[in-house]
């Protein structure tokens, strides 16, 4: 947060309620509306105080271990010479894993999703519509011919069987 942060907008984080089975939640109760960078800084540091209880309206998942892994750094104050003057810019840094996905895992997953996507008919059609050269699509069995294992074989023919009544 810094001088470019727009405090006139309703916060996009808060407590959701009225959620349905698809996690569509029509009601957002925003986290405390701040009027300045200093007010936001004061709220964040209060939430991270290891002796203070977590505000149940806001950050329910914030455990003492999570709090210890979050660092708040003051970048600037209104009066740089006065360490008690209002904060005008700060940075929040989260250390460790604490249930968060690692960047490498995210990159690997994104790479696999994109690799799969590029092998779809829809991707080939999009490339054709956009006049992107060099993108062709082969049938799945040709793309992975050496990797596909046949577990069952079938043959087409008339259905035969016993006839009778029980």
Tell me the mean pLDDT per 10 residues along the chain, length 166: 64 61 65 76 83 61 75 92 91 72 80 84 86 79 77 83 62
- Same domain? 57 vs 116: no
Q: What is the pLDDT of residue 163?
A: 65
Considering the domain architecture, whether residues 89 and 22 belong to the same structural domain is answered as yes
pTM above 0.85, yes or no: no
Please, are residues 84 and 31 in contact by the beta-carbon 8 Å criterion? no
Task: Look at residue 69 in the predicted model and tell me its pLDDT.
Answer: 80
**Are 46 and 74 contained in the same domain?**
yes
Long-range contacts of 107-114, Cβ-Cβ distance < 8 Å, separation of 24 or more? none
d(C-alpha 16, C-alpha 59), whole Å: 12
Please indicate, yes or no, whether residues 107 and 80 belong to a single structural domain of this protein. no
- Residue 162 maps to a domain: no
Residue 56 structural domain: 14-94
What is d(CA 98, CA 67) in angstroms, rounded to the nearest whole number? 10
DSSP secondary-structure letter at 53?
Answer: P
Count of structural domains, the chain: 2
Q: Is 135 inside a domain boundary?
A: yes
CA distance 70 to 74: 13
């Amino acid at each position: 947060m810094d001088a470019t942060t727009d405090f006139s907008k309703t916060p996009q984080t808060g407590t959701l309620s009225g959620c349905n089975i698809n996690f569509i939640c029509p009601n957002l109760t925003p986290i405390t509306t701040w009027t300045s960078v200093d007010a936001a800084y004061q709220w964040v540091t209060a939430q991270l105080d290891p002796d203070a209880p977590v505000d149940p309206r806001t950050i329910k998942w914030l455990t003492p271990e999570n709090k210890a892994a979050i660092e708040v750094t003051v970048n600037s104050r209104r009066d740089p010479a006065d360490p008690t003057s209002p904060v005008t810019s700060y940075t929040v840094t989260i250390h460790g894993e604490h249930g968060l996905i690692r960047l490498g895992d995210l990159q690997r997953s994104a790479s696999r999703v994109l690799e799969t996507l590029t092998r779809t008919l829809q991707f080939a059609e999009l490339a054709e519509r956009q006049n992107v050269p060099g993108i062709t699509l082969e049938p799945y069995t040709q793309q992975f011919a050496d990797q596909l294992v046949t577990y069952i074989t079938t043959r087409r023919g008339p259905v035969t069987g016993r006839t009778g009544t029980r």
